[in-house]
Chain A
């Protein structure tokens, strides 16, 4: 099968992105699951992959060469993140505030800033039977996981099978980098006012990025109409509804795949894969 990139996002956290992503990847078979929720990757708990390769992701941060530095302060002015401070006798660098934008290197007139490599996280590659597996993990206290996501994007560029991206919650930079270049975004939401509020934020983001999208209602049953009415208004197809059941919560808490514990859900996901591919073809 040719490469298609399907990204699963939600806006609100805890709606079931990972549940949908891992079950979708497993239903596709011969697919690649990619966990881009680098602040809290959890897909591995459900797929139990054999890790075959692990590499460190590094970023470049500034180090001041005090022999060349004249304390002109241009680097401090250039830094939007407050990562550099000029004292009377030296420039203080705050590694964990640095976003590696490179502006200080660019603006220093005296070539006094040296590139220093700093590890910020890891990328793991492996296999969970028929599903290839990649996840990124950001080290604690780091400013941003975006450099890890850029590395992951390079790794998945030329994969010739369906790629399922489990995106981070929210609608900020890490989400944008995760879903970039997708053929389809699947937005998972729950039928609550809070779910709808953040679902709307995610819809606006995906719209702006010009990516086709569809919705999945998780924990469905009561109040689905608030999501359905919204989707109708926005012209978004609801591809699946996963019912709200204690049995599913129990399976989740034990790291089990829903498609392996419940026939109905298995059917829902089989239909979801077909419908998703159908939407992409259009």
Chain B
């Protein structure tokens, strides 16, 4: 299963990025082999719509599950429509969160955890 997780760094030991749309990186992990791929999040620079842009990137990568700590209302709507479940990360590194997800210890989130950050 392909799991995406927002990350501050490029390795499995990196800390989970507390943001979604403007996370530095996404690490896409194959939960069976623990092979992973790092995606530079181009949406960081968006003045608006970062959440939907980042969500699009993950959909295009064929991600099946997302682990992140803060997902806005627009991105949440995309994941719901795309039937990609979102799980709430705990503070810590990427690897720990993947393990917790595999044990079924992460909480599933269905509502946006923030109200968006639209600015001009």
B82 and A87: CB pair below 8 A? yes
Q: Is the CB of B46 within 8 A of A82?
A: yes
Task: Tell whether, in the assembled complex, residue A82 and residue B53 are in contact, meaning their CB atoms are under 8 Å apart.
Answer: yes
Specify which of B46, B77, B120 is in contact with A92 (CB 8 Å cutoff).
B77
Interfacial chain B residues near A143, Cβ < 8 Å:
48, 118
In the assembled complex, the Cα of A178 lies from the Cα of B108 at a distance in Å of 46
Is residue A211 within 8 Å, beta carbon to beta carbon, of the partner chain?
Answer: no
Q: Are B48 and A92 in contact (CB under 8 A)?
A: no
Chain A, residue nearest B59 (CB) = A87
Does residue A45 face the partner (Cβ distance < 8 Å to B)? no
Query: Chain B 47-66 against A: per-residue CB contact (8 Å), 1 yes, 0 no?
Result: 01111110110011000000
Q: Does B18 contact A (CB under 8 A)?
A: no
For residue A39, give the distance in angstroms from its CB to the closest CB of chain B: 10
- Distance in angstroms between the alpha carbons of A90 and B118 in the assembled complex: 25
> How far, in Å, is A37 (CB) from chain B's closest CB?
14
A173 within 8 A of B: yes
- Partner among A83, A88, A90, A144 whose Cβ is within 8 Å of the Cβ of B52: A83
A-B interface pairs (CB < 8 A), number = 53
The reply on B106 being an interface residue by CB < 8 A is: no
A239: min CB distance to chain B, Å: 29
- Chain A contributes a number of interface residues (CB within 8 A of B) equal to 21
Q: Is A172's beta carbon under 8 Å from chain B? A: yes
Q: Which residues of A contact B51 (CB under 8 A)?
A: 82
Contact of B120 among A86, A88, A90, A173 (CB under 8 A): A173
Quick one: CB contact mask for A77-89 with B, threshold 8 Å, 1 for yes? Answer: 0011111111110
Residues in B neighbouring A38, C-beta threshold 8 A: none
* Majority SS at the chain A contact face: loop
Given contacts A87-B82, A88-B82, A94 and B74 within 8 Å (CB-CB): yes
Residues on the B chain within 8 Å of A84, using CB: 52
Distance from A174 Cβ to chain B, minimum over Cβ atoms (Å): 8
Inside 8 A of A174's CB, which chain B residues have their CB? 120
Q: Smallest CB–CB gap between A94 and chain B, Å?
A: 6
A172 in complex: contacting residue of B43, B77, B78, B120, CB < 8 Å: B120
Contact of B49 among A81, A87, A88, A170 (CB under 8 A): A81
User: Is the beta-carbon distance between B59 and A82 smaller than 8 angstroms?
Assistant: no
What residue of chain A has the Cβ atom nearest to residue B53's Cβ? A82
Chain B residues contacting A86 (CB-CB under 8 Å) are 56, 59-60
A85 CA / B84 CA spacing, docked (Å): 14
- Report the Cα distance A173→B119, complex, angstroms: 12
In the complex the two chains form, what is the Cα distance from A172 to B118 in whole Å? Answer: 14
Most chain B CB within a 10 A radius of its CB, from A85, A87, A172: A85
Where the two chains meet, the residues of A that have a C-beta atom closer than 8 Å to any C-beta of B are: 76, 79-88, 90, 92, 94, 97, 143-144, 170, 172-174
List 13 interface pairs A-B (beta carbons < 8 Å), by A numbering: A82-B48, A82-B51, A82-B56, A82-B74, A83-B49, A85-B56, A86-B60, A87-B78, A87-B81, A90-B81, A92-B81, A94-B74, A144-B120
